Structure 1
Amino acid sequence: MNSLVRVAPAFRDMAHSIVWASVATVDPDGRPRTRILHPIWEWDGTDLTGWIATVPTPIKRAHLDAHPEMSVSYWAPTHDTCSADCAAQWHTDDETRKAVWDKFLHGPEPVGYDPRIIPMWADGPTTEQFAVLRLRPYRLRVMAGTVMTKAEGEPLVWRERETA
């Protein structure tokens, strides 16, 4: 098992280079649904936190009310892949929404962007159509494409705690 200190920076770097992720949630009846979202990740040397700026649709709300977890998966044409299984929490307070808006606005390329390009967010971070999801990973996996295509190296995996 790898340590978070080793895996989190590798995950963040690969995720930010790929940018767009397939994100899965589960509805109240146990059926999964995926969507494409654009998380930004922060690593402070101890904790990895993901932030997603999104429209708080009734479907997303119902899924996360029933099962407050998300699986986030990235893939690049080189077959580099990384994934994070996370606890997810809504933030709709103005302070957090403004802070996360600024994280995207001033984020490093290619993951940073001006959220106002989304028409329903033209009025800024306090519009009702703008909400934030905070992600706390409990499992990370990072695999360079060469692990699969050339049998070079091995995936990096971190779990918050081992299960029996």
Structure 2
Amino acid sequence: MTSLDRIAPAFVDMAHSIVWAAVATVDPAGRPRSRVLHPLWEYDGTDLVGWIAVGPTPIKREHIAAQPEISINYWAPNHDTCSAECSVEWVFDDDGRAAVWEKFKTAPEPVGYDPAIIPVWRGGPTAPEFAAWRLRPHRLRVMPGSVMTQGAGEVLTWRQ
């Protein structure tokens, strides 16, 4: 098992290079639903925290209320993959939403972008159509594509 201080930087580097991830939630009946989203990760040397800007749709609200856990999977054409299983909490307060908005707006490309480019978010970070998820991973996995395609490299895993 890999320590967080070894896997977190590798996870963030790979996730931020891939950018888009399949994110799965589970409804109250235990049925999964996945969608493609754009997480942003921060590692301060101690804690890894993720953020996802989302629309607070009735489906997302219902799923997170029933099961506040998500699964995130990144894949690149060279078969680099990384995944995170996380607890998730909503960020609905104005200050929190504004802070997440700024994180995305000021992050370096390719993961950084101005959320105002999304038509339903043109009202800004305090518009009712904008919210965010705060992610706390409890399991991470990083697998360079070379492990599968060449038998070279190392799969890193971490559990809280």
TM-score, normalised via structure 1 length: 0.97
SS at match of 1:100: helix
TM-score, normalised via structure 2 length: 0.99
Residue 146 of structure 2 is aligned to residue 146 of structure 1: yes
1:71 corresponds in structure 2 to 71
2:44 corresponds in structure 1 to 44
SS at match of 1:97: helix
Residue 15 of structure 2 is aligned to residue 15 of structure 1: yes
Q: CA deviation at 1:154?
A: 2.2
**Letter of the structure 2 residue corresponding to residue 20 of structure 1:** W
Q: Whole-Å Cα distance in 2 between the matches of residues 125 and 138 of structure 1?
A: 28
Identity %: 68
* 5+ residue gaps, structure 2: none
RMSD over equivalenced CA pairs, Å: 0.5
Residue 61 of structure 2 is aligned to residue 85 of structure 1: no
Q: Whole-Å Cα distance in 1 between the matches of residues 89 and 3 of structure 2?
A: 24
**Letter of the structure 1 residue corresponding to residue 88 of structure 2:** A
* 5+ residue gaps, structure 1: none
Residue 147 of structure 2 is aligned to residue 156 of structure 1: no
Cα deviations by residue, 1:30-81 (Å, 9 ceiling, x for unpaired): 0000000001000000000000000000001100100000000000000000
Q: CA deviation at 1:153?
A: 2.1
SS at match of 2:62: helix
Task: Report runs of 4+ in structure 1 exceeding 6 Å deviation.
Answer: none
**Letter of the structure 2 residue corresponding to residue 9 of structure 1:** P
1:25 corresponds in structure 2 to 25
